[in-house]
A and B are shown apart, each in its own frame.
Chain A
Amino acid sequence: MLRTLNLDKKYTTDEVETTALNRVSFEIKQGEFVAIMGPSGCGKSTLLNIIGLLDNPSGGEFYFLDKEVSKFSERQRADLRKENIGFVFQSFNLIDELTVAENIELPLIYLKMPSAEIKKRVDEVMEQMQIAHRRNHFPQQLSGGQQQRVAIARAVISKPKLILADEPTGNLDSAHGQEVMNLLTELNEAGTTIVMVTHSPSDAEYAHRIIRLFDGEIVTENINARSFAKEML
Chain B
Amino acid sequence: MLKNYIKIAWRNLVRNKVYSAINILGLAIGISACILIFLFVRDELTYEAHFDKADRIFRVTNDINLQGQTDKFALTPFPLAETLKKDFPVVEAVTRVMPIGKQTVWLEDKVFSEENFYFADSTFFRIFNYPFLYGDPATVLDAPKTVVITDELAKKYFGTPENAMGQTLKFSKNTHKITGVFRDPGHSHFKLNALLSVNTFDETLKKQFSGDWFRMSLYTYALLPEASKKSEFEASLDTFYAKTVVPWMKENKLNASMQYHVQPLPDIHLNNEFSYDLSPAGNKAYVYIFGLVALFILLIACINYMNLSTARSAKRAKEVGLRKVIGAHRSQLVRQFVGESVFITMLAILVALALVELLLPYFNALTEKNFSLANFGNGPFLLVMLLIVAFVGLVGGSYPAFFLSAFKPVDVLKSDNSPRGSNAWMRRILVVTQFTISLILIIGTIVVFSQMQFLKNNDLGFNKEQVVVIDIPNGDTILVNRLPVIRQKFLSNPNITKVSNAASIPGERTGRLLYLAEGANGGQMEEKTLSTIFVDYDFLDMMEIKLKAGRNFSREIKTDDSMAYIINETAAKWLGWKDPIGRSMENGLGAKGKVVGVVKDFHFASLHNKIEPLALMLAPKSQGFLMVRVAPQNLPATLSFIEENWRAFDNKHPMEYFFLDENFNKQYRAEEKMLTVFGYFAALTILIACLGLFGLASFTAEQRTKEIGIRKVLGSSVTEIMLLLSKDFAWLVLISILLAAPIAWYGMNRWLQDFAYRTEIHWWIFVLSGLAALIIAMLTVSFQAAKAARLNPIKALRAE
Contacts and interface: CB of A to CB of B under 8 A. Distances in A.
Interface of A: 45, 49, 52, 54-55, 74-75, 78-79, 81-83, 87, 89-91, 93, 95, 97-98, 102, 106-107, 109-112, 154, 158, 170-171
Contact of B318 (A55, A95, A110, A111): A95
Nearest to A45: B414
Contacts of B323: 106, 110
A110 B12 contact: no
Contacts of B327: 78-79, 81-83, 107, 110-111
A89 B329 contact: no
Among A75, A97, A154, find the residue whose CB has the most chain B CB atoms closer than 10 A. A97
B301 to A, nearest CB: 25
Contacts of B799: none
B4 A54 contact: no
Given A102-B4, A102-B7, A109-B1, A81 B322 contact: no
A54 B8 contact: no
A111 B435 CA distance: 45
B15 interface: yes
A91 B324 CA distance: 16
B318 A107 contact: no
Given A74-B330, A110-B328, A97 B12 contact: yes
Contacts of B414: 45
A106 B634 CA distance: 83
Contacts of B12: 97
Q: Specify the main secondary structure of chain B where it touches its partner.
A: helix
A69 to B, nearest CB: 14
Contact of A55 (B330, B410, B415): B410
Contacts of B415: 89-91, 170-171
Q: Which of A45, A78, A98, A154 has the most CB of B within 10 A?
A: A78
B679 interface: no
A74 B331 CA distance: 11
Nearest to A151: B322
21 contacts: A52-B325, A54-B409, A75-B330, A78-B327, A78-B328, A78-B329, A81-B325, A82-B326, A87-B325, A89-B415, A90-B415, A93-B322, A93-B325, A95-B8, A97-B8, A97-B11, A97-B319, A102-B7, A106-B4, A109-B4, A112-B1
A81 B328 CA distance: 9
B332 interface: yes
Given A90-B415, A93-B318, A93-B413, A75 B15 contact: no
B321 interface: yes
Most buried by A among B15, B332, B413: B413
Interface of B: 1, 4, 7-8, 11-12, 15, 318-319, 321-330, 332, 408-410, 413-415
Nearest to A87: B325
Given A87-B325, A93-B413, 8 more contacts: A54-B410, A55-B410, A78-B324, A82-B326, A89-B413, A91-B415, A97-B319, A110-B1
A102 B414 CA distance: 23
Contact of A81 (B326, B330, B332, B410): B326
Given A79-B327, A81-B325, A81-B327, A97 B15 contact: yes
Contacts of A89: 413, 415
A151 to B, nearest CB: 10
A107 B326 contact: yes
Contacts of A81: 325-327
Query: Interface centre among B4, B325, B328, B410, by most A CB within 10 Å?
Result: B325
Contacts of A102: 4, 7
B579 to A, nearest CB: 86
A98 B332 contact: no
A97 to B, nearest CB: 4
The 6 nearest A-B residue pairs measured at CB: A82-B327, A91-B415, A97-B11, A107-B326, A81-B327, A95-B319
Contacts of A83: 327
A93 B329 contact: no
A209 to B, nearest CB: 25
Contacts of B11: 97-98
A81 to B, nearest CB: 5
A74 B413 CA distance: 17
Contacts of B318: 93, 95
Contact of B326 (A74, A90, A110): A110
B322 A54 contact: no
B320 to A, nearest CB: 10
A95 B15 CA distance: 13
Nearest to A50: B410
B14 to A, nearest CB: 9
A154 B325 CA distance: 11
A45 B328 CA distance: 21
Contacts of B1: 109-110, 112
A55 B325 CA distance: 11
Given A78-B328, A81-B327, A107-B327, A49 B8 contact: no
Contacts of B326: 81-82, 87, 106-107, 110, 154, 158
A102 B11 CA distance: 13
B410 A98 contact: no
B466 to A, nearest CB: 71
Given A78-B329, A102-B7, A110-B332, A95 B322 contact: yes
Contacts of A82: 326-327
Nearest to A94: B322
B325 A98 contact: no
A55 B321 CA distance: 13
Contacts of B410: 49, 54-55
Contacts of B328: 78, 110
A55 B326 CA distance: 14
B78 to A, nearest CB: 78
Nearest to A170: B415
A140 to B, nearest CB: 11
A93 B416 CA distance: 12
Most buried by B among A55, A74, A106, A158: A106
Contacts of B324: 54, 78
A145 B73 CA distance: 88
A158 B8 CA distance: 21
B794 to A, nearest CB: 24
Contacts of B319: 95, 97
Most A CB atoms within 10 A — which of B1, B328, B332? B328
Contacts of A109: 1, 4
A165 B617 CA distance: 103
Contacts of A158: 326
B316 to A, nearest CB: 9
Contacts of A170: 415
Nearest to B1: A109
Of B322, B329, B414, chain A has the most CB atoms within 10 Å of the CB of: B322
Nearest to A55: B410
B422 to A, nearest CB: 13
B11 to A, nearest CB: 4
Contacts of B7: 97-98, 102
A198 to B, nearest CB: 14
B333 to A, nearest CB: 11
A171 to B, nearest CB: 8
B329 A98 contact: no
Nearest to A155: B326
Contacts of B413: 89, 91, 93
A136 to B, nearest CB: 12
A54 B330 contact: no
B48 to A, nearest CB: 54
Nearest to B326: A107
Nearest to A83: B327
Nearest to A108: B326
A208 to B, nearest CB: 25
A98 B107 CA distance: 79
Nearest to B319: A95
**Which of B4, B326, B328, B332 is the most central at the interface, judged by chain A CB atoms within 10 Å of its CB?**
B326
A84 B330 CA distance: 19
Nearest to B12: A97
